[in-house]
Amino acid sequence: MGSAVDYGTALSAAIRSLPPKTEGEPVTPPSGGTPPIRIERAGSVERSGKLIRLTNGAAVKIGERNITGETAIIDEANDRVEIAGGARVEGAGDDIQAERISADLRFQRTNLTDARFRLSPSWFEGRVTDDFFVRAGEAQSNERGYFVIAGQCTTCNDGRPHYHIGADRIEIFPSDRIILRGARINILGSTILKLPALTIPLLENSNPRYLPLIGQSRDEGYFIKSRFATPVGSREVVDILADAMSKLGFGIGAEYANNSGTSRVYSLFGNSPSLTASQNYNGKLGGGNLSFDGLFLRNNYAFAPETTTTSLRANYAEGGFNLSGYRTGTSTSGFSSVAESVSLRDRRTWGVGSSRRDQRTRGGRGLITDINLTWNRSQSRGVSSAVESERMDLRFLAQQNLGAVDAELLYERSIPISESRNFNNNRDRTPILSFKSDGDRLGWFPASTGLRFDIQGSLGEWRDPVRQRPISRFFLDSGISGSRRVGALSTSYQTRLQQGIYSDDTAQYVLRSDIRSSYQFGTQSSLNLTYRYLKPVGFTPIQADRTGRADSLSLDASYQIDPRTSLGVQTGYDFYSGFRGVTPWQQVGIRAEYLAPPGLTARLFIDYDTFSSVWNQGRLDAIIQQGDLRLTLGTRYDARRSVWGGVNAIVEGFRAGQITAAALFDYNGYTKQLDSQQWQLIYDLHCAEMVFEFSDSRVGFRSGRQVGLFLRIKALPGGSPFGQGTRGQSLIGLGG
């Protein structure tokens, strides 16, 4: 528990300089920001060398914590403190009662005897939603958590708890799990179940769920799926997976996770046996970081039936050095394929020292080199054909800051190693030398003027994708941009000129311009105009230099009628389309919002198709709330077909006595049926709740029904599939 650890740390720092003092006199804390300590009360104070004894009722205050007990002994020589006789710690969220509290400050370890303490949700880093109460014959705490011998725990705050779990040993790790060895589950005063070990995972997102799942799907039939956490060793835990499916048979597996990664194996026994194994790892190796992911699938009914799939990816990074690779393979009865790759990258900075002062004084003008070497191989074999490709990709980049300009040299090439029918080296650049700068660095347009100018020129050899031959290219790219605000009107602009000249006697220049203006009237009302112009002139054989054409104006206006209501409209006018005889007006969108939370929130959007001269579709989303009752509604109206395309409704917070209900409906107006529906009923049992869940998905992957009925402790993470589909996808996409 964080309270005991904080208490011991604060007390240790203050006690070291504690001389005999009279009541109420503050003790000056040592350096390091330790909270001040005051001896609030003591019947008598005795000092013998490094030993300080407070008797006949001792009270000490450290920061916001009040610590009381019949006696207190402070051993400065061994950095230990002991409080006995009804010891208690209160304040700063702590609530500890014990017959004896002994703190070893040197090793940051605290021992409690005959103790009762409360662990708050903040101590668990929000992994539980209510206080966690513990009684212990003996307990020890350190930076890892609590270790209890002969104890019991509960989340019930009733004077006589409705339930508790007793155990020979309890291990509490705040951000991980609670492990109870020799567990005894007691409900209403009777022990109903004894287990050699019980693990309670403290999952941040309650996924996966440690609750049985019962249902029916098209590919699995009727099923029961369960997951159990089983401790192995002192702290390690393995999840056991056990499933039964009427169509596929029995499945069993195991999953192990720690800070470095997760290992998982699952096998299905039945008419169509399958095996799934995966491993991922991320940890330190030497001075760098190693990560890899492995996957093996054989006849996986959900993802790849009658197929064997393997995948392995690994990466090692240390500073600017990176080595990575992958191998994937797929095999069926008549086809197999393999893809492999190994990549080596090294990035270095030359001529600049590693110290911050050196980098600051030299302006970071060192030579930067980045080399990447990649080997790729792919192979596929069918019944009567085989295709294989192997190549080496080389990329070298050098960058140098020359003060007024930046210089860059790029060499990129793909080299075939074996014959390939589809070898593509269109990205070859062998090489390209470029220089770039801006008006501020050149002294032409200082930054203080608000006008920004940048220019970049390059000369190099590219690849003609049509004639499959090298082609030389000179390219110049320059631009001017700026912004200005006058009262409520703000304007920003950017204009660019790009010129390309090629060795095959072709040339092209491109004009680009973007102008944006916004006029603000009122706090939430505005008129926004955007003009975009793009025009290429000439011809280029380089695919990367080719561009389209644009000449359009767009408008977006918003008007705040009152603090709750607003209207908006958006459209555009394409001058280039009008020149070609096509309808120049773009789609018109009209929106309205009414925001009066928490009672009512509504958003309406409709759009008009100017090309077809018809209303296209409308959408209405609304949230209506009355107390705890909340209705979320989303609708989509297809004006072209005159049909409600989709209606999505969620009802939450309906209460009747001890019962809370929630429901979700997703109606498809085209098929005139419910695509999915979910129900959840919760019966409140004070510290626990009885939960009934029903889900029916009629469309999509793995459609079917699921039913769950279980008893869960409210304060512990349990999760809920409400609002999710069979694969965890959200069903709360309002209006379909």
Question: Over the stretch 374-393, which tens digit does the pLDDT of each residue have?
Answer: 999 998 888 778 888 889 99
Distance CA 131, CA 711 (A): 19
- The answer, as to whether pTM is greater than 0.85, is no
pLDDT value, residue 725: 62
- Which CATH code, of 1.10.3210.10, 3.40.50.300, 3.40.50.970, 2.60.450.10, is assigned to 2-201? 2.60.450.10
pLDDT value, residue 729: 59
Percent of the chain with pLDDT over 70: 86
Q: What mean pLDDT do residues 216-244 have?
A: 83
Q: Which residues contact 62 (CB under 8 A, 6 or more apart)?
A: 7, 10, 11, 14, 35, 36, 37
448 has a pLDDT exceeding 80:
no
pLDDT value, residue 14: 36
Residue of higher predicted confidence among 463 and 493: 493
Q: What mean pLDDT do residues 597-615 have?
A: 92
Torsion on CA atoms 9, 11, 16, 17, rounded to nearest 10: 130
Q: Which residues contact 517 (CB under 8 A, 6 or more apart)?
A: 489, 490, 491, 528, 529, 530
Residue of higher predicted confidence among 627 and 355: 627
Distance CA 36, CA 383 (A): 82
Tokens of residue 232, six digits: 């192995």
Q: Is 315 exposed, middle or buried (0-12, 13-18, 19+ CB in 10 A)?
A: middle
Q: What is the pLDDT of residues 176-227, one digit of tens each?
A: 889 999 999 999 999 998 988 888 888 766 566 677 778 777 788 888 888 8
pLDDT class of 423 with cuts at 50, 70, 90: low
Distance CA 456, CA 476 (A): 6
Distance CA 406, CA 242 (A): 62
Domain residue limits, the chain: 2-201
72 has a pLDDT exceeding 90:
no
Calculate the average pLDDT of the chain: 85
Q: How far from 398 is each of 137, 217, 392, 474, CA to CA, in Å?
A: 68, 57, 20, 19
Q: What is the pLDDT of residues 491-537, one digit of tens each?
A: 999 999 999 999 999 999 999 999 999 999 988 899 999 999 999 99
Report which DSSP code applies to 713. Answer: E
Distance CA 56, CA 71 (A): 6
Report helix, strand and coil shares of the chain as percent, to nearest 5: 5, 65, 30
360 has a pLDDT exceeding 50:
no
280 has a pLDDT exceeding 90:
yes
Torsion on CA atoms 277, 283, 286, 287, rounded to nearest 10: 140
Q: Which uninterrupted H or E stretch holds 53?
A: strand 51-62
Residue type at 23 in one-letter notation: E
Number of Cβ within a 10 Å radius of residue 153: 22
Distance CA 252, CA 256 (A): 14
pLDDT class of 62 with cuts at 50, 70, 90: low
Please report the beta strands in 642-672, taking only residues with DSSP state E, as ranges in sequence order. Answer: 643-656, 659-668
- Quick check: 177 and 210 in contact, CB under 8 A? no
